[in-house]
Structure 1
Amino acid sequence: MQSIYPVLRYPDAHAAIDRLRSAFDLTLHELHEGPDGVVRHAQLGYRGGLVMLGTGPAPTVRPADDDYRLYVAVDDVDRHHERARAAGAEIVRPPFDTDYGSREYVARDPAGLVWSFGTYRP
C-alpha cells in the first residue's frame, strides 16, 4: 500500500487534470470542488499509485530539465512517451536507456513540473 502521496498545485486544476489524464494516462479517482467550482482536492492514479492535487499558485521557479519532481514506473516507456507526445506534452528528454537497466523519458507538465517515467521499480 502506498504511504507517500505527492501533492501538486495548479493555477487551473481542471485544465491540469485534463492534460495529465490525456498525456500521462492517469485516471481520475476523486474530484472535490468548492461552491465556486474551483478544485479543492483531486486524486489522480496510475496502477495503484496516487497523486493529490488542487488549485493553487504555479511554482515560482521553473525546475531545470533534470530536476525531477515525480517518478512513475510504467511497463512500456516508448508507448507511454508516444501517448504523451501526441497529447502535446512538453518532452524534456525522449526515451533513453540508463546504466542501471531502466528505460526512461522525461516530460514537463502544464505547471512546469518535471515528471520522469521509466521501467525501474524501486
Structure 2
Amino acid sequence: MPGAAVPPPPQVWPTLRARDARALIAFLVEAFGFEATSVYADGDQVAHAELAWPPGGGIMLGSAKEPADGEEDPWPLRPGTFGAYAVTDDPDGLYRRAVGAGAVVTAELHDTDYGSRDFSVRDPEGNRWSFGTYRGEPRHR
C-alpha cells in the first residue's frame, strides 16, 4: 500500500532517564535534531518516549522516579550518566545548532587522525553526546 508506515529494521536503542524528561526531549529535538516519535506521559512524568535519529536508530527515555516503599527499581539508571556517539554528515552545522540551543561544549569541533570530524557536548541533564562523521569499520561477512 503506497504511503503506509513501515517499521524500521532491528536496531540498538540506548536508553536513559531524566529528572525533567519533557525538558530534555525538547532540548534534544531543538539542539540535535532528534524527532520525538512517541511520548507516553501523565503530566510531567514520562513513562516512555522514543526519539528517532534522522539518519537511523534513536534513543528511548523516561522520567526518573523513586520506587514505592519496598519495591525495587527495575531500570535503575541515574539521570545524567548517559553517553552516546551519533553519526552526522554535517558536524559543523550540528555543532552550531547544538551550541545555539545551549549545549555545553566538552570538545570543540576537530578532525581526528582516523578521518572523522567530531565534537562533544553535554545536555542540560549532564549526559554526554559526541557527534561525528565516523561510521565505524566495515563489517567482514
- Quickly name the TM-score band, shorter chain normalised: 0.7 to 0.9
Deviating 4+ runs (over 6 angstroms): none
- 2:83 is matched with which residue? 69
Q: Which amino acid is 1:54 matched to?
A: G
CA–CA separation in structure 1 for the residues paired with 2:120 and 2:84: 10
- 1:3 is matched with which residue? 11
CA RMSD of aligned residues (A): 1.9
Q: Is the 8 A contact 1:13 1:55 kept in 2?
A: yes
Post-superposition shift, 1:2? 4.3
- Over alpha carbons, which structure has the higher Rg? 2
SS of the residue corresponding to residue 51 of structure 1 reads: strand
TM-score (norm 2): 0.75
CA–CA separation in structure 2 for the residues paired with 1:105 and 1:2: 28
CA–CA separation in structure 2 for the residues paired with 1:103 and 1:2: 28
Identify the structure with bigger relative contact order (alpha carbons < 8 Å, sequence gap 6+). 1
- 1:41 is matched with which residue? 48
TM-score (norm 1): 0.86
Q: Is the 8 A contact 1:59 1:112 kept in 2?
A: no
For these two proteins, the number of residue pairs brought into alignment is: 116
Q: Output aligned runs, 1:82-97, within 5 Å.
A: 82-97=96-111
Q: Which amino acid is 2:52 matched to?
A: G
Q: Is the 8 A contact 2:64 2:78 kept in 1?
A: no
CA–CA separation in structure 2 for the residues paired with 1:4 and 1:40: 20
